[in-house]
């Protein structure tokens, strides 16, 4: 069948019914408001309900029109999408540019048997619409068929080890990293099939996140706004008044401790709920054609497929609290995924949720098909000048505000004086500890086919990037770095966010590292003295 003869397909008309969420979501605060007022509805509530109903009708009509005007098809060489009513838009993407396939089903979609299909095209610039084709929505069966067709009918791509199409730059699957030529890695990989699966014990890592505290503010703010829409003033309720009287009746230290305990408990429960909803049923699989597939989700289910030949490495992430709990998570560094947010619910590069560090390292071995995880190799530490720079940042960002508070306290009110010394006692030691930890986290190494870079304190990230995936180097020096003899060396790649930085490394060490990682790439721009790299040329 030729491209012109390929049948155009439509979105599923049931998607319009998903707009019922516009009415369902406000029903909870509406019911609470009705009970609060003894079953009476004031005019403000009726007006709000009428507005929501009108929005539902308009959005439903718009979705029906969009559904009827949107067409898509798969030809042997391209993926095509037509959309728009008054302004027609046609997008056509070569099949070989498809980098990932993401199937997402929110609760309403699951009730209706629908899925949203996002086809990642690898574009790294422009809006999200330019980097992916979105089909919102098609039936579950159609989504699964699309995913299968996109991977099975790709022109010129053989699948899996049997087909000889390994990761880019290799003829077959890689040999043992760092070993003698021709020595293969121990056959301890699981091969095709399940690489990792959900363990409910991993939920203990959920509270070890900064979001554990942020969720309290999010939940309180959302509840207050929702109740206010229907005429209920949450802060004027008897419950809040009684809680305030209780707080004032106890010693201040006890009241603050009680509030902190409530915040921690609520935040932990919120983090547990979000982690369970996001990662329940998690499965990381390698399919026979070499595709890595991540499936996860309790209410909103998601399935992300990544072609293994696009993989350029992994990112081993250890947020501060999670690091204290000896946990970590793993992300993919792959062509076409781009830079993802830290929100686990929307990340498409996540390979493993927060889990024990040993399990995370095992997943690194499975994904990279290496004998040992590159993310565990000893790293070369950075000079003490890097620590000095971070300590100076602490002084710059903490001492002036404390001095300003102290001066204003002497001039205006003693309250600011107390605030100044409390800030100095708390913030400065915390800042110094963070600076020391950030300096200790810096490191770099070369391990077989990978260059390894580590940095960060609140989010410590260890990146294992394939050396053949580096397409350029950027060397930068600020005025203060030049005085300390330091540089920032940035490896440019087509994968992930596009670059990875080796921060505050000595000039000669950094240039030698770049030359060893990718021989010849930086050679025309450096000056050598004997065997030692001494600086950059013009």
Structure token pair of residue 232? 């209920």
Q: Are strands 100-105 and 114-120 parallel, antiparallel or unpaired?
A: antiparallel
DSSP code for 520: T
What's the CA gap between 420 and 408, in Å, rounded? Answer: 10
What integer pLDDT is reported at residue 63 of this predicted model?
A: 82
* Residue 241 token pair: 């008044």
Per-residue pLDDT reduced to its tens digit, 122-145: 654 444 455 788 998 899 999 999
Backbone angles phi, psi at 164, to 5 degrees: 80, 10
Mean pLDDT, all residues of the chain? 81
Place of tokens 């009241």: 255
Q: What Å distances lie between residue 385 and 320, 345, 421, CA to CA? A: 23, 39, 29
Tokens of 26: 């406000």
Nearest C-alpha neighbor of 443 from the set 526, 516, 513 = 513
Rounded distance between C-alpha atoms, residue 361 and residue 266, angstroms: 31
Residues contacting residue 380 through CB under 8 Å, at least 6 positions apart:
443, 444, 445, 509
Q: Is the dihedral of CA 38, 39, 45, 46 positive or negative?
A: negative
* C-alpha–C-alpha distance, residues 342 and 6, integer Å: 40
* 504 CB-contact burial (10 Å; exposed 0-12 / middle 13-18 / buried 19+): buried
Spell out the alpha helix ranges (H) of 113-180: 128-131, 140-152, 160-163
Count CB atoms within 10 A of the CB of residue 262.
Answer: 12
Among the residues of 9-139, which ranges form H helices? 21-36, 43-69, 107-112, 128-131
Question: What mean pLDDT do residues 494-514 have?
Answer: 92
Cis-peptide into 137, omega within 30 deg: yes
The rounded distance, in Å, linking the Cα atoms of 90 and 5 is: 17
Percent of the chain with pLDDT over 70: 79
* Least confident segment among 99-108, 311-320, 467-476, 499-508: 99-108
Which is nearest to 379 in space by CA: 528, 186, 509, 519?
509
Buried b (16+ CB within 10 A) or exposed e, 323-361: bebebbbbbbbbbbbbebeeebeebbbbbbbbbbbebbb
The string of pLDDT tens digits covering residues 509-528 is 999 999 999 998 877 776 66
Q: Does the predicted TM-score (pTM) go above 0.85?
A: no
Q: Return d(Cα 510, Cα 491) in angstroms, integer.
A: 11
| pLDDT of amino acid 183 | 36
Residue 269's CB is within 10 A of a number of other CB atoms, namely: 16
Reported as a pLDDT band with limits 50, 70 and 90, residue 247 is confident
**Residue 46: is it exposed, middle or buried by C-beta count within 10 angstroms (0-12/13-18/19+)?**
exposed
Task: Tell me the C-alpha distance between 359 and 327, whole Å.
Answer: 9
Judge contact between 113 and 139, C-beta under 8 A: yes
* Gap between the Cα atoms of 21 and 354, Å rounded: 31
Contacts of 533 (CB under 8 A, 6+ apart): 508, 511, 512, 515, 526, 527
Residue 259 pLDDT class (50, 70, 90 cuts): confident
- Residue 352, pLDDT > 80, answer yes
End-to-end CA distance of the chain: 57
pLDDT digits (tens, 9 = 90+) for 193-239: 899 999 999 999 999 887 777 777 777 777 777 666 656 666 776 77
How high is the pLDDT of residue 177?
A: 40
Question: What residues have CB less than 8 Å from 424, skipping those under 6 apart?
Answer: 398, 402
Which listed CATH number (1.20.120, 2.30.29, 1.10.150, 3.30.70) goes with 377-382+442-538?
A: 2.30.29
Annotate 461-489 with three-state secondary structure. Answer: EEEEEEHHHEEEEEEECCHHHHHHCEEEE
């Amino acid at each position: 069948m030729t491209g012109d003869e390929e049948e155009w397909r439509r979105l599923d008309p049931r998607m319009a019914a998903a707009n019922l969420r516009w009415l369902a979501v406000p029903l909870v605060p509406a019911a609470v408001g009705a009970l609060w007022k003894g079953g009476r509805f004031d005019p403000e509530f009726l007006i709000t309900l009428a507005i929501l109903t009108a929005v539902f009708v308009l959005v439903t009509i718009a979705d029906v029109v969009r559904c009827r005007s949107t067409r898509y098809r798969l030809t042997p060489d391209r993926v095509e999408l037509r959309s728009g009513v008054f302004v027609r838009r046609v997008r056509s993407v070569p099949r070989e540019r498809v980098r990932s396939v993401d199937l997402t089903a929110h609760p309403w979609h699951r009730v209706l048997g629908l899925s949203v299909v996002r086809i990642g095209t690898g574009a790294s610039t422009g809006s999200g619409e330019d980097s992916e084709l979105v089909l919102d929505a098609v039936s579950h069966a159609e989504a699964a068929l699309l995913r299968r067709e996109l991977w099975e009918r790709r022109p010129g791509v053989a699948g899996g080890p049997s087909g000889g199409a390994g990761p880019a730059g290799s003829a077959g699957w890689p040999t043992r990293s760092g070993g003698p030529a021709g020595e293969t890695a121990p056959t301890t990989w699981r091969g095709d099939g399940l690489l990792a699966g959900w363990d409910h014990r991993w939920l203990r890592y959920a509270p070890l996140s900064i979001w554990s505290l942020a969720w309290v503010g999010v939940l309180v703010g959302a509840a207050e706004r929702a109740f206010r829409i229907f005429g209920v003033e949450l802060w004027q309720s008897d419950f809040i008044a009684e809680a305030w009287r209780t707080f004032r009746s106890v010693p201040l230290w006890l009241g603050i401790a009680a509030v902190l305990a409530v915040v921690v408990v609520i935040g932990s429960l919120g983090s547990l709920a979000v982690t369970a909803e996001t990662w329940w049923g998690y499965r990381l699989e390698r399919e026979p054609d070499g595709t890595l597939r991540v499936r996860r989700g309790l209410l909103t289910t998601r399935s992300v497929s990544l072609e293994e030949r696009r993989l350029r490495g992994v990112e081993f992430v250890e947020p501060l609290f999670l690091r204290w709990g000896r946990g970590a998570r793993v992300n993919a560094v792959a062509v076409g995924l781009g830079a993802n947010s830290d929100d686990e619910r929307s990340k498409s590069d996540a390979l493993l949720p927060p889990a024990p560090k040993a399990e995370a390292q095992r997943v690194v071995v499975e994904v990279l098909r290496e004998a040992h995880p590159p993310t565990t190799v000893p790293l070369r530490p950075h000079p003490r000048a890097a620590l000095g720079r971070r300590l100076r940042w602490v002084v710059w960002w903490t001492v002036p505000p404390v001095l300003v508070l102290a001066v204003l306290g002497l001039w205006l009110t003693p309250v600011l004086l107390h605030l100044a010394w409390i800030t100095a006692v708390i913030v400065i030691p915390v800042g110094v500890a963070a600076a020391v930890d950030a300096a200790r986290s810096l490191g770099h190494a070369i391990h077989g086919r990978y260059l390894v870079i580590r940095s960060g304190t609140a989010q410590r990230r260890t990146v294992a990037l394939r050396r053949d995936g580096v397409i350029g180097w950027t060397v930068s020096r600020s005025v203060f770095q030049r005085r300390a003899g330091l540089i920032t060396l940035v490896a440019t790649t087509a994968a992930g966010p596009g670059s990875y930085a080796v921060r505050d490394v000595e000039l000669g060490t950094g240039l030698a590292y770049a030359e060893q990682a990718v021989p010849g790439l930086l050679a025309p721009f450096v000056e050598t003295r004997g065997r030692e790299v001494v600086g950059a040329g013009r």
